[in-house]
Amino acid sequence: EDQVTQSPEALRLQEGESSSLNCSYTVSGLRGLFWYRQDPGKGPEFLFTLYSAGEEKEKERLKATLTKKESFLHITAPKPEDSATYLCAVYQLTGGGNKLTFGTGTQLKVEL
Amino acid sequence: DTEVTQTPKHLVMGMTNKKSLKCEQHMGHRAMYWYKQKAKKPPELMFVYSYEKLSINESVPSRFSPECPNSSLLNLHLHALQPEDSALYLCASSQGGINEKLFFGSGTQLSVL
């Protein structure tokens, strides 16, 4: 069965304390992996697309990496404004067409 | 314009009411989506329109009725909802194939009393 699992469920960091969020997946026909940021009561905001193992993308304090079984979102020297829920989503090709499966998210809180 | 616009932002309705949610995008995207999201859960796919035709219906109850009047607009008509339908309803669009990179709107927070 296709699964996308994110860990930890929640993470509390001090400002400047770097860390990583994990998205592990067991799917066939992977075509890509997306990272989104979601603020409370808002829609997810696109961050990155990763297509193949070894690929890396960076944006400000965020860096996303991809292996054959998982993706990491590294947050370097986070600030309180980085507090949000981070969602990964796996895009795969199945017999029924393209399928997008979201992980359950990591809720990040960055404190002063 | 890289936005997906949803209206209203908040909606409170009774179980006997009929209401509609609206979504608009002007990015030339050919696929549009409705998602439902409960608190602390990931978005759940409800419907997908591709080139203005309904392509995917994830076994959604008939009290939710989608409509795609043209390539820029997407509506979700609501009738006889239940309190458990209270959630954040998200519209999204993608440029090409179904379930490629999605651009989401800010959502409509729906409360059913």
CB contact under 8 A, B104 and A44: yes
Which pLDDT value is given to residue B2? 64
pLDDT, chain A, mean: 94
Nearest to A60 by CA among A44, A48, A70, A72: A48
- Identify the segments of chain B with pLDDT beneath 70: 1-2
Using the Cβ of A45 and the Cβ atoms of chain B, whether some distance falls under 8 Å is answered with yes
One-letter amino acid of A83: S
Q: Is the pLDDT of residue A7 over 70?
A: yes
Measured in whole angstroms, the distance separating CA B57 from the mean position of its chain's CA atoms is: 12
DSSP letter for each residue of B41-87: S--EEEEEEETTEEEEE-S--TTEEEEEEETTEEEEEEES--GGG-E
- A50 has which bridge partners? A33
Query: What is the tens place of the pLDDT at every residue in A75-104?
Result: 999 999 999 999 999 998 877 778 889 999
Measured in whole angstroms, the distance separating CA A44 from the mean position of its chain's CA atoms is: 11
Using the Cβ of A78 and the Cβ atoms of chain B, whether some distance falls under 8 Å is answered with no
Q: Is the pLDDT of residue A29 over 80?
A: yes
Q: Which residue of B has its CA nearest to A100?
A: B99
Residue to mutate among B89, B101, B103, B108, with most A CBs inside 10 A, is: B101
Rounded Cα distance, B57 and B47, in Å: 5
β-pairing verdict for A3-7 and A97-102: unpaired
Q: Token match 């400000």: residue?
A: A60
Which pLDDT value is given to residue B1? 60
Average pLDDT over residues A36-63: 95
Question: Count of residues for chain A?
Answer: 112
Share of chain A above pLDDT 90, in %: 84
Query: What is the tens place of the pLDDT at every residue in A51-71?
Result: 999 999 999 999 999 999 999
Which pLDDT value is given to residue A93? 83
**Do A102 and A95 meet the contact criterion of CB atoms below 8 Å apart?**
no
